[in-house]
Amino acid sequence: MSVPTYALIGWPLTFSLSPAIHGAAFRAAGVPGRYVLEPTPPHGLAAFVAGVRAGAWAGANVTLPHKTAVRDLLDDESRLVAATGAVNTLLVSDGGVRGENTDVAGCLHALTALGAADGAGRPALVIGAGGAARAVVHALLQRDYAVLVLSRRAARAAVVAGALARAWPGARLGAGLLTAERLTAEAERARLLVHCTPLGAAGPDTSGRSVWPDHAPFPAHMAVLDLVTVPAPTCLVARATAAGAPAAGGLDMLIGQAAEAWRLWTGVEPPLEAMTAAARAAAARAAAVHTGRS
């Protein structure tokens, strides 16, 4: 009997901590399964979903740039997908391929770890307008934050806010153009900033960069969750920490969404301790490579 195989699809896709996290879960729980990276360009997305439908894959995670486009190829979707407009997990169901969003659960896990689980009506800034940002906004509204989505493309921010407003009628939710001036002005009253773009991630075009302007002091009253996992800390997290603000990278969100996806795939309670240990070890190895220590 073949071992059930799960994949992460995205494009480009050269690195991820997810194989280490899910591999640890299968070993710790004694559940048969393996997890691989499957680089999938946009023109190959339909063929991959067809492969899931045909049984070639037991399930999958979905990352950039497919989180919204894949919806058109599915047979069913969860209420969270309908609310957020984004998919990060594919399940095999009796009706075909079902889309799920476990990024919301991941964000809630990360907010708890950061000590920011209760918004109490306070303002939060979300930087970015992709699939991850949609899940983050949903989680923040669930935790009673007043949310402002900022993007370098204001129209995309408005689309995200509009989609989530339909799921959360009456929510305190706005959108606007991301500029250095707007960001620093809004940060004067915001209590949380969640960064949802690849800026600052390890890579030739993003590493060492930060959404926070170099000339501006960082407000100590504003907690930061940066969804970038490697390097750790990112420049944004380092700036926030130096100012005395609570700050964390994206590892806890990655662990939280992986645990929920694994639960949906296997029907087994995820071994969170083993997954967390594997994630932290893999992140440390990746950070060492990034800084040239190995």
pLDDT band, very low/low/confident/very high, at 205 (cuts 50, 70, 90): low
215: Cβ–Cβ under 8 A, 6 or more apart, which residues? none
Q: What is the pLDDT of residue 111?
A: 98
151 Ramachandran zone, left/alpha/beta (phi>0; psi -120 to 50): beta
236: Cβ–Cβ under 8 A, 6 or more apart, which residues? 195, 200, 210, 211, 212, 224, 226, 228, 247
Of 160-174, 244-258, 279-293, which gets the smallest average pLDDT? 279-293
Q: What is the DSSP string of 47-97?
A: HHHHHHHHTS-SEEEE-TT-TTGGGGG-SEE-HHHHHHS---EEEEETTEE
Q: What is the pLDDT of residue 288?
A: 76
Structure tokens at 71: 């919806």
Q: DSSP 3-state assignment of 9? A: strand
* Residues facing residue 61 across a β-bridge: 8, 89
Model confidence, pTM: 0.93
CB neighbours (10 Å) of residue 110?
Answer: 26
Position 149 pLDDT exceeds 70: yes
> In what helix (H) or strand (E) does residue 34 lie, and over which residues does it extend?
strand 34-39
Helix spans in the chain (H): 18-29, 45-54, 79-84, 103-114, 131-142, 154-167, 180-187, 235-242, 251-266, 272-290
55: Cβ–Cβ under 8 A, 6 or more apart, which residues? 92
Position 179 pLDDT exceeds 60: yes
Per-residue pLDDT of 242-284, as tens digits, reads: 999 999 999 999 999 999 999 999 999 999 999 999 999 999 9
d(CA 185, CA 167): 28
Q: What is the pLDDT of residue 289?
A: 73
Per-residue pLDDT of 109-139, as tens digits, reads: 999 999 999 999 999 999 999 999 999 999 9
Q: Which active-site residues does the annotation give?
A: 67
> Nearest 5 degrees, angle CA 199-CA 200-CA 202?
115
User: Do the Cβ atoms of 105 and 257 come closer than 8 Å?
Assistant: yes
89-100: b or e for each residue (b if 16 or more CB lie within 10 Å)?
Answer: bbbbeeeebbbb
Write down all domains in the chain, each with its CATH number in brackets. 5-101+256-274+281-290 (3.40.50.10860), 104-251 (3.40.50.720)
Residue 269 to residues 32, 78, 137: CA-CA distances in angstroms?
Answer: 14, 20, 26
75: Cβ–Cβ under 8 A, 6 or more apart, which residues? 53, 93, 95, 96, 97, 98
User: Do the Cβ atoms of 130 and 150 come closer than 8 Å?
Assistant: no
Per-residue pLDDT of 25-73, as tens digits, reads: 999 999 999 999 999 999 999 999 999 999 999 999 999 999 999 999 9
Per-residue pLDDT of 55-68, as tens digits, reads: 999 999 999 999 99
User: Do the Cβ atoms of 136 and 129 come closer than 8 Å?
Assistant: no
d(CA 255, CA 235): 21
pLDDT, mean over the chain: 94
